[in-house]
Amino acid sequence: MAIDYHKLKNWAFEPVEQSYDWRYSAMYALGVGYGYDPLDTRQLPFVYEENMVAAPTMPVVLASPGFWVKEQNSGIDWVKVLHGEQSLTLHKPLPVAATVVGELKVTHLADKGAAKGALMVQERKIYNQANGDLLATLEGVTFCRGDGGFSEQPNNGPAGGDALPPAKPACPTTAPDAVCELPTLPQQALWYRLCSDLNPLHADPAVAKAAGFKAPILHGLASYGLVGHALLRTLCDYDASRLQHLGLRFAGPVYPGERLRVEMWHTDLGVQFQAKVVERDMLVISHGLAKVGSPS
């Protein structure tokens, strides 16, 4: 069954409300590696309630509608979807504790052809319920591998679907200007899933092996948060207010316990970056671009 272009583009998502406290903020921060050195006083504010600060990448787990593509009337072959890219733009500092509201819409549907699948872009805006402030805008790209060819059907959107937003830039091939290595702990995915995705792929060895992995893998958005942590550490001296934008492409899985090496370049576009797993010398994050503000 082909996806219905007009139905998805006009899907009326209900706003999602979520209340969280400092414990949730600390759990998220622990899940993406803050506090790995408990004596580093720069990391402590993200995991300790005294003078606490929220990790700037936390909007990725706030006020989400969950895995909505699994709903029967979405028309999407949900078994074959992959999370391809993720971007986050921060408009205001994220509160440590708040009630937030998330509003989601499908902004783009591109048809790559029956044999190549489709690309769906979703935008989620996060608002502070107390004052209506827009806190963050998220954009995610989903690769719908089983849904190509939809635009070949009559009255199912423009030929080829929508034109996609500009592609994320590839990283330079020169030596990086800065490098940061961060550890992941063997229990990292078990921590992270408590404030995010409960998919057993990230917890149950039998499920992971059935999916073709040697062990449970880290969530893609946990890798996203770890990279954000590395950038905040290296470029901002842990000043969360300086991180303005973080976008990247997922390129491979990370196993809990592996070490991430984040390579960074200062370019006219901003800070471009990629990440590799040290133990396997494997690229797991590519096409990264961050925008960082000046110290206050």
- Beta-strand runs (E) in the chain: 16-20, 81-90, 98-111, 118-128, 134-144, 178-183, 243-250, 259-267, 270-277, 282-292
Q: How far apart are CA 101 and CA 130, in angstroms?
A: 10
In our burial notation (b when 16+ CB lie closer than 10 A, e otherwise), range 243-274 reads: bebbbbbbbbbbbbebebbbbbbeeeebbbbb
Whether the Cβ atoms of residue 29 and residue 55 lie closer than 8 Å to each other: yes
Closest CA relative to residue 278, chosen from 294, 295, 254: 254
Residue 108 annotated in active site: no
Q: Which of 4, 111, 202, 229 is catalytic?
A: 202
Q: How far apart are CA 58 and CA 32, in angstroms?
A: 9
Tokens of 165: 């937003």
Whether the Cβ atoms of residue 58 and residue 50 lie closer than 8 Å to each other: no
Residue 202 annotated in active site: yes
At position 85, the amino acid (one-letter code) is E
Q: How far apart are CA 37 and CA 115, in angstroms?
A: 48
Q: Which of 4, 197, 219, 229 is catalytic?
A: 197
Whether the Cβ atoms of residue 229 and residue 33 lie closer than 8 Å to each other: yes
Q: Which residues are catalytic?
A: 197, 202
